[in-house]
Amino acid sequence: MSFNGKVLRVNLTEKSVKVEKLPEDYELYLGGRGLATKMFYDEVGPQVDPFSPENKLFFATGPLTGTAAPTGGRYMVVTKGPLTGTIASSNSGGYFGAELKFAGYDMIIIEGKAEKPVYLMIKDDHVELKDASHLWGKDVFETTDIMMEEIGDPRARVACIGPAGEKLVKFAAIMNDKHRAAGRTGVGAVMGSKNFKGIVVRGTKRPEVKDPAKFMEVVKEKIKKLRENGITGEGLPKLGTKVLDNIINQNGLYPTRNFQDSVFEFTDEVSGEALVEKGYLVKNMPCFGCPIACGRRVTLPNGIETEGPEYETGWAFGPDCGVSDLIAIVEANHLCNKYGLDTISAGSTIACAMEMYEKGIVKKEELGNGPELKFGSSEAVVFYTKQIGLREGIGDKLAEGSYRFAESYGHPEFAMVVKKQEIPAYDPRGAQGHGLEYATSNRGGCHVRGYMISPEILGAPEKIDPQALEGKAEWVKAFQDLTAVIDAGGLCLFTSFALGADDYADLINAALGWNKSTEEILKIGERIWNLERKFNLEAGIDPSQDTLPKRLLEEPVKEGPNKGQVVHLDQLLPKYYEVRGWSKEGIPTEEKLKELGIL
């Protein structure tokens, strides 16, 4: 119950579509990120080339997706990521995931490669591959409008790629509902490599839960908790994720000018408060079933109507590039949504290039007619975002991501990455646990796989010393396992500001008719984490890559509350391996894998 029990398998090479049963061992991996990772591992394996026809894309919902559970609109895209070479599982909200569930499917598997561009049209039980030649080259907004017109139902939902995915930009996103992104690790480029433009879906069925009365009782209780919490009931609804700008800056871990500094002097100009005060914010834009409504609809003085930017995006094109022009930040975000780009990697790659330009490594003649790549240039962030999305000029090199870009000049140290993926908007020299989370994340530099900013800075569920090392390994493991459960269930990570493991166990048990303890539910998360780790190791991502950029390990913070600090990863990592039950070298032991049912 709350699963439809159906998987839609689409073979692009054979132009075939067939419906299969959901695997019966879903109980071990729950759904979403978990079950898709297990099936990807079994069907494809770690050695696959991300751009080969043998790679597959799994669009996976969770058992709570499409239900009344708060934030029950999430879906995951699981594949092998071209940016990192790791197992990629990119999460998105909006309405697409719920609509897929309404059409009767828990998962779509895309395999093979089409001879020419195609897209998938789903109307409940009617499924067909359609020619997309007329859509190839079009941006996300145009593509969405045309696919909506062709399905002929304004209630349909679209997930698609833009030019960035078609041109295999290493950090291309899959966009749904125009402004929501399965953004990280380059999942959009995998779609592009398959000549697969997108999916339009309309469903009329509602997933059933085991005990509707009990489930609604639990749902109401959890929504009450979310509304009474200071972060989910007040901060996020009022200012969106950009409520964090001033908080993170005041705590001295707001990465500035490619992590050269940790405090941005113009934060007031680009904050969530500024978005409101300047009159750009129009209204909140909630995802499906969301009582938090952190999304933003904005209008700029030049007439651009768009959504965002989120905190990470605002930082990537703002402080990380030394830019204090909020209009330019919103425009760069808009271009990312239009072309289908991961905003974090796009902004961070431009920041990396700016430092290299200012240090004389990137030469002016390489920029063609483009503006100088100088920190603080609002013109540069807009111009080079467009160049990346279209792979024009130096944008063709930037489209490979900051690691490959910097390495091509012999200076990989300027790329602020973990496992080749750009790290987000928190300087870990100001939050040691968050640094450990970055270093050990299974999909490369990532803040949403164990959001240690929550306890270390925001005090949720309790406040802990951000510079303390004791107990951090245990915290990180607990947060990583819990996040895997949230992703597998089909909910949004932001609920974890107010809800704990017991709350998620309540929701899952009520929906599925289970009677599992919180410990058993968390074991599902630990199983997912260990299987992802096993995949990465077999893909050649060895434990030496559980590290951080040299700057963060060796260069102390220059000013602010964390002046003089570096990340003490050498002390944190051995304890983390021990807490995980892995070998001293960071390898899951045979005993641990057997305990989890992986072997």
- Residue-wise pLDDT tens digits, 415-466: 999 999 999 999 999 999 999 999 999 999 999 999 999 999 999 999 999 9
Q: In terms of domains, do 116 and 12 share one?
A: yes
Token pair 């049912």 is found at 597
User: Which tokens sit at 446?
Assistant: 């990532």
Is the pLDDT confidence value at 485 over 90? yes
Q: In terms of domains, do 399 and 454 share one?
A: no
Model confidence over 560-570: pLDDT tens digits?
999 999 999 99
Q: In terms of domains, do 414 and 439 share one?
A: no
Query: So what's the pLDDT on residue 334?
Result: 97
Model confidence over 267-298: pLDDT tens digits?
999 999 999 999 999 999 999 999 999 998 99
Q: How far apart are CA 12 and CA 20, in angstroms?
A: 16
Q: How far apart are CA 114 and CA 225, in angstroms?
A: 47
Report the Cα 404 to chain-centroid distance in Å: 21
Q: In terms of domains, do 127 and 78 share one?
A: yes
Q: In terms of domains, do 195 and 88 share one?
A: yes
**Residue 432, CB half-sphere, CA atoms under 13 Å: how many?**
23
Q: Can you give the residue range of the structural domain that contains 456? A: 431-497+516-595
- CATH code: domain of residue 282: 1.10.569.10
Contacts of residue 321, defined as CB under 8 A and 6 or more positions apart, other chains included, come to 257, 347, 350, 351, 354, 375, 376, 377, 380, 381
80: number of Cβ within 10 Å: 29
Q: In terms of domains, do 387 and 444 share one?
A: no
Q: How far apart are CA 274 and CA 505, in angstroms?
A: 39
Is the pLDDT confidence value at 208 over 80? yes
- CATH code: domain of residue 118: 3.60.9.10
212 pLDDT tier (thresholds 50, 70, 90)? very high
Q: Is residue 232 part of a domain?
A: no
Token pair 């000029």 is found at 393
Phi, psi at residue 54, to the nearest 5°?
A: -75, -20
Q: In terms of domains, do 272 and 377 share one?
A: yes
Q: Is residue 115 part of a domain?
A: yes
Contacts of residue 234, defined as CB under 8 A and 6 or more positions apart, other chains included, come to none
Task: Please name every residue paired with 296 in a beta bridge, in sequence order, or none if there are none.
Answer: 284
Q: Is residue 483 part of a domain?
A: yes
Q: In terms of domains, do 389 and 526 share one?
A: no
Q: In terms of domains, do 571 and 535 share one?
A: yes
Query: So what's the pLDDT on residue 141?
Result: 98
- Residue 332 sits at the vertex; the CA angle it makes with 443 and 313, to the nearest 5 degrees, is 40
591: number of Cβ within 10 Å: 10
What residue ranges in 262-304 does DSSP mark as E strands? 281-285, 295-299
Query: So what's the pLDDT on residue 560?
Result: 97
Q: Is residue 307 part of a domain?
A: yes
User: Which tokens sit at 516?
Assistant: 């599992």
In whole numbers, what is the pLDDT of the chain averaged over residues? Answer: 97
Query: So what's the pLDDT on residue 27?
Result: 85
Q: In terms of domains, do 415 and 466 share one?
A: no
Query: So what's the pLDDT on residue 26?
Result: 80
Q: How far apart are CA 480 and CA 410, in angstroms?
A: 34
Q: In terms of domains, do 192 and 326 share one?
A: no
Task: Please name every residue paired with 298 in a beta bridge, in sequence order, or none if there are none.
Answer: 281, 306
Tell me, yes or no, if the pTM score tops 0.85.
yes
The answer to whether the CB of 555 falls within 8 A of the CB of 567 is: no
Q: Is residue 42 part of a domain?
A: yes
Is the pLDDT confidence value at 47 over 70? yes
The answer to whether the CB of 161 falls within 8 A of the CB of 23 is: no
Closest CA to 292 of 334, 245, 240: 240
- Residue 184 sits at the vertex; the CA angle it makes with 258 and 488, to the nearest 5 degrees, is 135
Task: Please name every residue paired with 76 in a beta bridge, in sequence order, or none if there are none.
Answer: 60, 91
Q: Is residue 223 part of a domain?
A: no
134: number of Cβ within 10 Å: 12
402 pLDDT tier (thresholds 50, 70, 90)? very high
Q: In terms of domains, do 457 and 538 share one?
A: yes
590: number of Cβ within 10 Å: 11
Q: How far apart are CA 397 and CA 199, in angstroms?
A: 29
Query: So what's the pLDDT on residue 1?
Result: 64
Model confidence over 314-369: pLDDT tens digits?
999 999 999 999 999 999 999 999 999 999 999 999 999 999 999 999 999 999 99
Q: Is residue 33 part of a domain?
A: yes
| Final residue before a domain boundary, out of 401, 421, 441 | 421
Closest CA to 280 of 294, 300, 262, 266: 300
DSSP 339: H
Closest CA to 400 of 421, 416, 379, 372: 421
Count the domains in the chain.
Answer: 3
Q: How far apart are CA 347 and CA 353, in angstroms?
A: 10
